[in-house]
Amino acid sequence: MKVICKSCKHQETVDKDFFLKVLGGVVSGFGFWSWTAFLFAGTGFAMPIVIAIIAGGGAIATYSKEITEWLIENHECEKCGKKDWIDEEQYKALLKKEKQLEEKRKKELQAKEKEHQKNIKEKEAEHNATKAEKAELEAENEDLYEELDKLEKEKIALNDQILEIEQELKNTTEDDKKHELLSKELEKLKNEQQENTEKQEKWHKRRFLEKRVKIYSNIDFKKKSLTEYSKLTDDDSISLEKKLGLLQYNPDAVTTRCKIQATKFLEIGFGSQGRMYVLQEGNQYHIYKIGNKNTQNQDINYLKSLKV
């Protein structure tokens, strides 16, 4: 039989010679009764245990528990000085447990590493997406300002043409054929002027909305939805803004019409027929589409085509 120190893994073979070393005595003679008297007096073990120690081999292992408990009370490890003994079976069980714990820790570390690598990839993807989105926004801004510049130039050209025709009309009479042609041309130009003004108003409204929606830190407007927002009537814009306020500050108060089948999108109504399509991630709300009852089927088909 062997005993092992749990603290430093030092091993000792337990036999009568071991107890002679532990007890530090001298056996008078080497006969059975001499050993019996020596061990009985030195350890206080019951006679069966004393006999097992003298016999050695498998017999001593029968009393490993009692012998180990005695060693914990009476014998310091010569290597580390502690009294922390276990027998071979306990040691095997301890090694098995340590191995299981090591395997468990290894699996946990592998899982953490896998999760860490996943997070890194997600962050990289998010970073790349942000860079791409930023580049897209910069390109879009450039296009928008080019559009505004074009509208301003058109406005100036239309104003010049209108002034020119109005001046010519002053030099003609109503029964003059040229007067009729000029009047029709003037009406056409004024209609174009009105269209130009409406386009500029929509441009400025969109730019205003781009800045305004930033007050909603939990709401993210996708490009398409922001464009659709800018095209709403004033009444519908007010109704939609009420829903945005609830999503930002009191989302539990928002009533959803339904969840779009085979997607993660929620349909939220506003006004009489308005529809807003939202993807929720935690406390963040991503708005992908804004439409109405008439565009519902088209909007849903678009949402189903997205890989989100």
The series of mean pLDDT values per 10 residues for the chain, 308 residues long, is: 87 75 58 62 70 70 78 83 85 89 91 89 78 70 76 89 87 77 89 89 83 89 88 91 93 91 93 93 93 93 88
Residue 116 has a CB neighbour count (10 Å cut-off) of: 11
pLDDT at position 100: 92
118 falls within a domain: no
The torsion angles phi and psi of 291, rounded to 5 degrees, stand at -150, -150
pLDDT at position 28: 47
Whole-angstrom Cα distance, residue 169 to residue 46?
A: 135
pTM of the prediction?
Answer: 0.46
Q: Give buried/exposed letters for 273-282 (b at 16+ CB in 10 A, else e).
A: ebbbbbbeee
pLDDT at position 302: 93
257 falls within a domain: yes
232 falls within a domain: yes
Q: Name the residue among 181, 186, 184, 183 with its Cα closest to residue 158.
A: 186
Helices marked H in the chain: 16-23, 32-43, 47-55, 58-61, 64-74, 88-170, 177-212, 223-230, 234-249, 296-305
Whole-angstrom Cα distance, residue 268 to residue 133?
A: 26
303 falls within a domain: yes
Number of domains in the chain: 2
CB burial of residue 225 (10 Å; 0-12, 13-18, 19+): buried
Which residue has 């069966």 as its token pair? 48
Which domain covers residue 60, as residue numbers?
Answer: 2-83
pLDDT at position 20: 63
151 falls within a domain: no
Last residue in a domain, options 17, 49, 83: 83
**How much is the mean pLDDT over the chain?**
83
64 falls within a domain: yes
- The radius of gyration of the chain from alpha carbons, rounded to an integer in Å, stands at 45
| 224-240 pLDDT, tens digit each | 898 899 889 989 999 99
284 falls within a domain: yes
Last residue in a domain, options 83, 103, 132: 83
Letter for the amino acid at 107? K
Q: Is the Cα dihedral 34, 39, 41, 44 positive or negative?
A: negative
Contacts of range 71-76, beta carbons closer than 8 Å, 24 or more positions apart: 71/3, 71/22, 74/22, 74/43, 75/22
Last residue in a domain, options 83, 107, 130: 83
273 falls within a domain: yes
Q: For residue 238, what is the domain's CATH number?
A: 3.30.2310.20
